[in-house]
Amino acid sequence: MKIYINNKKIKVREGQTIFEACKENGIEIPTLCFHPDLKVKAYCRICVVQIEGRKGLYAACSTKTEEGMKITTESEEISRARKINLELIFSQHQEECYDCVWNSRCQLLELAKKYEVEINKFQDRKKRYPVYNFGPVQKPILNFDSTKCIDCRNCVEICEKQGVGFLELQERGNFTEVFPSEKKEKDCVYCGQCITHCPAGSFEAEGEFEEIEKPFRENNGKLIIFQIAPSIRTSIGEEFGMEHGTAITDKLVAGIKKLGADKVFDVSVGADFTTIEEAKELKEKLETGQNMPMFTSCCPAWVKYVEFYYPEFMPNLTSARSPQMMSAGLIKTYFSEKNNISPENIFLVSVMPCISKKYEIQRPELEINGAKLIDYVMTTRELARLFIKRKIDLNKIKPQKADSPFASPSGAGVIYGASGGVMESVLRTAHKDITGKELKKIEFKEARGKAGIKGANIYMGNREVRIAVASGLGNGKKILESLKKSPNLYDCIEVMACPGGCVGGGGQPLPTSAEIRKKRAEGLYKIDKKGKVRLAHKNPEVKEIYKNFLTNERIIREICHTTYSKKEKK
Partner 1 sequence: MEKDIIQKLKDSGLTGRGGAGFPAGVKWEAVKNASQKFSVKTYIICNAAEGEPDVFKDKFILDNYLPEIINGIKIALNTFENSVAYIYLNHNYYDESKDKIERTASGLPISLVKKPDKYIAGEETSVIEVIEGKRPEPRLKPPYPTEAGLWGGPTLINNVETFYYVSKVSKGEYKNTRFFCVSGDVKNKGVFELSENFTVKEILRQTQNFPEADFFVQVGGGACGQILLTNELNQPVCGAGSIVVYDKEKTDLFELMKKWADFFIKGNCDKCVPCREGVYRISEMVKTRKIDKKILEDLCFVLENTSFCPLGKSAAISFKSLINKLIIPTGKLF
d(CA 433, CA 282): 9
Interface with partner 1, residue 106, by CB under 8 A: no
In whole angstroms, the minimum distance from the beta carbon of 76 to partner 1 comes to 12
What letter would DSSP give residue 48?
A: E
Of 158 and 259, the one with the shorter C-beta distance to partner 1 is 158
d(CA 185, CA 187): 7
Site for partner 1 in 388-447 (CB under 8 A): none
For strands 346-352 and 223-228, give the pairing.
Answer: parallel
Stretch that binds partner 1, among 54-62, 204-212, 272-280, 525-533 (CB under 8 A): 54-62
d(CA 455, CA 366): 31
Nearest to 87 by CA among 127, 44, 118: 118
In whole angstroms, the minimum distance from the beta carbon of 87 to partner 1 comes to 8
Of 122 and 459, the one with the shorter C-beta distance to partner 1 is 122
In whole angstroms, the minimum distance from the beta carbon of 333 to partner 1 comes to 53
Of 164 and 178, the one with the shorter C-beta distance to partner 1 is 178
In whole angstroms, the minimum distance from the beta carbon of 480 to partner 1 comes to 24
Interface with partner 1, residue 64, by CB under 8 A: yes
In whole angstroms, the minimum distance from the beta carbon of 26 to partner 1 comes to 25
In whole angstroms, the minimum distance from the beta carbon of 453 to partner 1 comes to 24
Give CA 293 to chain center in angstroms.
25
493 SS3 class: strand
Give CA 168 to chain center in angstroms.
22
The phi and psi torsions of 416 (rounded to 5 degrees) equal -50, -25
Query: Which three-class secondary structure string do you get for 339-380?
Result: HCCCHHHEEEEEEECCCHHHHHCCCHHHCECCECCCCEEEEH
Site for partner 1 in 4-43 (CB under 8 A): 40-43
User: Are the C-beta atoms of residues 261 and 533 closer than 8 Å to each other?
Assistant: no
The pattern of x and - marking residues 156 through 185 that bind partner 1 according to CB under 8 A reads -------------x----xxxx--------
Of 17 and 508, the one with the shorter C-beta distance to partner 1 is 17
Cα separations in angstroms, 181 against 91, 157, 165, 194, 375: 25, 14, 8, 14, 30
Q: Residue-wise over 171-193: b if at least 16 C-beta within 10 A, else e?
A: eeeeeebbbbbeeeebbbbbbbb
Binding residues for partner 1, rule CB under 8 A, total: 31
Of 60 and 271, the one with the shorter C-beta distance to partner 1 is 60
116 SS3 class: coil
d(CA 329, CA 324): 9
Of 85 and 350, the one with the shorter C-beta distance to partner 1 is 85
User: Are the C-beta atoms of residues 189 and 473 closer than 8 Å to each other?
Assistant: yes
Member of 12, 18, 48, 320 binding partner 1 (CB under 8 A):
48
Interface with partner 1, residue 153, by CB under 8 A: yes
Member of 31, 73, 85, 425 binding partner 1 (CB under 8 A):
85
Interface with partner 1, residue 151, by CB under 8 A: yes
Site for partner 1 in 282-341 (CB under 8 A): none
Side chain identity, residue 364: P
In whole angstroms, the minimum distance from the beta carbon of 31 to partner 1 comes to 13
d(CA 10, CA 68): 10
Of 202 and 234, the one with the shorter C-beta distance to partner 1 is 202
In whole angstroms, the minimum distance from the beta carbon of 57 to partner 1 comes to 5
Provide CB contacts within 8 A for 343, sequence distance 6+. Answer: 332, 333, 336, 369, 371
Stretch that binds partner 1, among 57-65, 210-218, 470-478, 483-491 (CB under 8 A): 57-65
Torsion of CA 28, 34, 40, 46, to 10 degrees: -60
Interface with partner 1, residue 1, by CB under 8 A: no
User: Rounded to 5 degrees, what angle do the CA atoms 79, 85, 86 make?
Assistant: 85
Member of 44, 188, 355, 467 binding partner 1 (CB under 8 A):
44
**Partners of 264 in beta bridges:** 226
In whole angstroms, the minimum distance from the beta carbon of 152 to partner 1 comes to 9
User: Are the C-beta atoms of residues 561 and 320 closer than 8 Å to each other?
Assistant: yes
The pattern of x and - marking residues 108 through 137 that bind partner 1 according to CB under 8 A reads --------------x--x------------
Of 81 and 101, the one with the shorter C-beta distance to partner 1 is 81
Member of 38, 72, 74, 88 binding partner 1 (CB under 8 A):
88
Member of 18, 22, 51, 89 binding partner 1 (CB under 8 A):
89
Give CA 179 to chain center in angstroms.
22
In whole angstroms, the minimum distance from the beta carbon of 34 to partner 1 comes to 13
In whole angstroms, the minimum distance from the beta carbon of 11 to partner 1 comes to 21
In whole angstroms, the minimum distance from the beta carbon of 14 to partner 1 comes to 13
What letter would DSSP give residue 561?
A: B
In whole angstroms, the minimum distance from the beta carbon of 85 to partner 1 comes to 5
- Count of CA atoms in the C-beta half-sphere (13 A) of 121: 14
Nearest to 412 by CA among 429, 399, 395, 397: 429
Stretch that binds partner 1, among 44-52, 211-219, 483-491, 554-562 (CB under 8 A): 44-52
Residues that bind partner 1 (CB under 8 A): 40-46, 48, 56-57, 59, 62, 64, 77, 80-81, 84-85, 88-89, 91-92, 122, 125, 151, 153, 169, 174-177
